[in-house]
Amino acid sequence: MKFKLLVLVFISSLLVAVLPAAAVVLEASKPVKGTDFPWVVSFTSVTNGDRDAHVCTGSLIDAYTVITAAHCIPAVGAGDWVMLQGRNSITDRGRILTPFKVEVHPDYDPTLTRNDIAVVYLYYPAYSPRYLTIPSANSKYLKGDLFLYGWGDNQYERGTTELRRALQRDASAKAAVDYKYFEPKTQIGANWFDKKSGKYAGACAGDSGGPLVKTVSKNIYLTGVVSYGSRGCNSKAPTVYTKVSVFRDWIKSTQTAARISHSEEIIISTDPFFLTNGKFLPSINSIDSAGSAVVTTTVQLVTGDLTDTAIDISKLSVASYATPQPLGSVSLTAINVSPFSPCAITKQGYLEVRIDIDDKIGTDRLWRFQSLDKGCLLDGGLMPQIAPLPDTFDKCTATMVDVPSGPQVWFTKECFTGAKTPLFRMMLSNGVQGDVEPGMDNWMGPVTLLN
């Protein structure tokens, strides 16, 4: 996937109308497992290829479509971001969802906070046993118990480490009194407050864009999207939600346009390249010419979004050998759209490989090679280690090999000491364009290794 320059607003520092809401207030909410609610996603900024901070919440209505608040998506800016699905803690890697196309409602008014809704169409499909449904304009979707989900701050305006859920009830009449610009035709007011106990629940910073849902006959309906609320999170004032049913036709037409654009611009396989919950990618067992067992895992990736097809990676393949080979025990090979020349990286470009052995953030093993004198990959040359490794891994080496299909890197078995769920990522740049696969802050794996 090419490097993208889409930017996300940091809600904690942006005030619109009153205060854009963030996470579910803690007083009357409870933590839930993100893996149990995979249709709730976290919008996260990315710095230098790695996730940085949670910014907003969103929800999946199908495998390719995320609904969030318009104020989460700036009209202009620079930066990268992804969405995260199915994690129980902010330290979990989770499944990464990469934006392909972003559409903010054309009538969004940031001053009055009207029509505060946006659609994000994904590069790769999400994997969820169920998705939210867009309701029709029927009052039954506002009656009784509603639930808010979010990764936002608690009532003390402190960040949470887990997804939270809070009970809500329709409070549109009170919102019309509390908020000057509340618009009942396109907005919903909701909260929960118990006078006897003094407990309350609502949205706070970080919950922006998150779902307000209603379950009817086993279907879960996306009734509202968190838009704004009171200036302080320790308040029983209603949270204001964008009424999703009003924008049903716009969402559908936006989905259709994005789907056409997606099919015309890129070629993509729907086969999984990243799995969670202890599952490993499908692999093929074979025997090499010397009689050694080999396990090979190959994934199909996005192509067609780079003009320089020599650095456009269409597949990544990991081969693990039971018997060590001359350069190592595990190879990572890129299969590019066009034949690859080792000098395609030029003096300004580079080859970078990351390996995650424990599915945790901040422990990646990183190698990067750049040739400032010749601008070519060196056949048989060692890749410099960038991210520090423990002393026990001092025998870990990464060796480049000139392969016509694309860059190939061999790793010695010491590179995978303690690896239980190894994940791989490759970045290839010519100094002008770059391809990071499977995507920014995304991974191939877990893969099966024989040693």
> Tens of pLDDT along 195-239?
777 777 888 878 899 999 999 988 999 999 999 988 777 677 899
C-alpha–C-alpha distance, residues 77 and 83, integer Å: 18
Residues 241 and 306 in one domain: no
- DSSP E strands: which ranges in 307-429? 313-325, 328-336, 350-356, 365-369, 398-401, 408-411, 423-429
What domain count does the chain have? 2
Query: For residue 15, is pLDDT > 60?
Result: no
Residues 253 and 288 in one domain: no
pLDDT level of residue 48 (50, 70, 90 thresholds): low
Q: Which residues of 230-252 are buried (b: 16+ CB within 10 A; e: fewer)?
A: beebebbbbbbbbbbbbbeebbe
Residues 193 and 312 in one domain: no
pLDDT level of residue 21 (50, 70, 90 thresholds): very low
In a domain, 446, yes or no: no
In a domain, 444, yes or no: no
Residues 263, 427 contacting (CB under 8 angstroms): no
Residues 318 and 231 in one domain: no
Residues 22 and 143 in one domain: yes
- The pLDDT value given to residue 2: 42
Q: Read out DSSP for 209-248? A: T-EEEEEETTEEEEEEEEEEE-SSSS--SPEEEEEGGGGH
Residues 218 and 81 in one domain: yes
Over residues 269-290, the mean pLDDT reads 82
- The pLDDT value given to residue 269: 61
Residues 410, 246 contacting (CB under 8 angstroms): no
Residues 405 and 343 in one domain: yes
Best mean pLDDT range from 26-30, 136-140, 204-208, 373-377? 373-377
pTM: 0.71
In a domain, 278, yes or no: no
Which of the residue ranges 81-85, 87-91, 351-355 would you say has the lowest mean pLDDT? 87-91
Average pLDDT, the chain: 83
Contacts of 406 (CB under 8 A, 6+ apart): 313, 333, 334, 335, 336, 340, 428
- Of 228, 261, 294, which closes a domain? 261
Q: Read out DSSP for 152-175? A: ---TTS---SS-EEEEEEE-HHHH
Over residues 406-419, the mean pLDDT reads 91
Residues 182 and 328 in one domain: no
In a domain, 62, yes or no: yes
Q: How far apart are the first and last CA of the chain?
A: 30
Best mean pLDDT range from 12-21, 41-50, 426-435? 426-435
Give CA torsion, residues 146, 148, 154, 156, to 10 deg. Answer: -50
Query: For residue 18, is pLDDT > 50?
Result: no
Over residues 154-182, the mean pLDDT reads 85
Residues 303 and 235 in one domain: no
Query: For residue 186, is pLDDT > 90?
Result: yes
Which of the residue ranges 7-11, 59-63, 223-227, 238-242 would you say has the lowest mean pLDDT? 7-11
In a domain, 271, yes or no: no
pLDDT level of residue 418 (50, 70, 90 thresholds): confident
Residues 228 and 321 in one domain: no
In a domain, 268, yes or no: no
- Whichever domain contains 146, its CATH number is 2.40.10.10
Residues 310 and 420 in one domain: yes
Which of the residue ranges 178-182, 183-187, 359-363, 419-423 would you say has the lowest mean pLDDT? 359-363
In a domain, 4, yes or no: no
Residues 51 and 183 in one domain: yes
Q: Sign of torsion, CA 254 257 260 261?
A: negative
Which of the residue ranges 216-220, 238-242, 292-296, 385-389 would you say has the lowest mean pLDDT? 385-389
Helix, strand, coil in percent for the chain, rounding step 5: 10, 40, 50
C-alpha–C-alpha distance, residues 115 and 107, integer Å: 6
C-alpha–C-alpha distance, residues 380 and 351, integer Å: 14
Query: For residue 250, is pLDDT > 70?
Result: yes
Domain of residue 316: give its range.
284-437
Query: For residue 392, is pLDDT > 80?
Result: no
Give the whole-number percent of the chain exceeding pLDDT 90.
Answer: 49
In a domain, 6, yes or no: no
pLDDT level of residue 263 (50, 70, 90 thresholds): confident
pLDDT in tens, 95-134: 788 888 899 999 999 999 999 999 999 987 887 888 999 9
pLDDT level of residue 153 (50, 70, 90 thresholds): confident
pLDDT level of residue 3 (50, 70, 90 thresholds): very low
Single out the residue of 6, 135, 147 nearest to residue 72, CA to CA: 6
